């Protein structure tokens, strides 16, 4: 509804004005039309306020997720390149990374993360899962079902998501 509210409000007002004129007493028509228009403007204001609040939430989440990712990126790159420090450090880094991925997924599922951002995140996860050591650790973690429902299938599905207007490949099985 929020994506199409302008034409919905316009349609409702366009239908409601003639109905209001038809059912109102002649001395109340102007007042009823003014009240109807004021109500429509109130709805538009509410929706605009809601959209701004949602955008602010998204910005805060996006900034926090990227900041946390940037703090661990160098260590992830070392692990992916096979320059693994001690096993304890690898576990700590991968636990933090997978927890971050799971949080991003949770907020995506709640509609707080844009699908295009989730797609990019999934593609990054798939790149890391291409590393055997990271993939094995992930497979052990995902088998415990401790990441808010984030699975390898959810990651692949998110990576395959297409924005409106993008070409759809024949092997696309599902879009979030």
pLDDT band at 65 (very low <50, low <70, confident <90, very high): very high
Neighbours of 86 (CB within 10 A): 8
Domain ranges in the chain? 2-160
Question: 3-class SS at 167?
Answer: coil
The per-residue pLDDT for 166 is: 57
* pLDDT per position as a tens digit, 104-152: 999 999 999 999 999 999 999 999 999 999 999 999 999 888 788 999 9
CA distance 21 to 102: 54
Torsion sign, CA atoms 76, 80, 85, 89:
positive
The per-residue pLDDT for 175 is: 35
**Crossing angle of helices 29-80/115-129, nearest 10°?**
10
The per-residue pLDDT for 37 is: 84
* pLDDT per position as a tens digit, 71-87: 999 999 999 998 877 88
């Amino acid at each position: 509804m929020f994506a199409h509210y302008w034409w919905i409000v316009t349609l409702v007002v366009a239908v409601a004005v003639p109905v209001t004129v038809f059912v109102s007493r002649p001395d109340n028509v102007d007042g009823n039309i003014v009240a109807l228009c004021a109500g429509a403007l109130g709805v538009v204001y509410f929706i605009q306020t809601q959209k701004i609040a949602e955008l602010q939430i998204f910005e805060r989440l996006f900034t926090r997720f990227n900041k946390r990712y940037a703090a661990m990126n160098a260590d992830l790159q070392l692990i992916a390149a096979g320059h693994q420090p001690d096993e304890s450090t690898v576990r700590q880094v991968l636990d933090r990374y997978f927890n971050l991925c799971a949080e991003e997924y949770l907020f995506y599922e709640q509609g707080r993360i844009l699908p295009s951002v989730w797609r990019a995140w999934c593609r990054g996860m798939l790149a890391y899962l291409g590393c055997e050591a990271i993939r094995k650790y992930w497979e052990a973690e995902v088998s415990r079902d401790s990441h808010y429902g984030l699975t390898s299938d959810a990651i692949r599905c998110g990576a395959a998501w297409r924005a409106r207007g993008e070409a759809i490949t024949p092997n696309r099985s599902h879009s979030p």
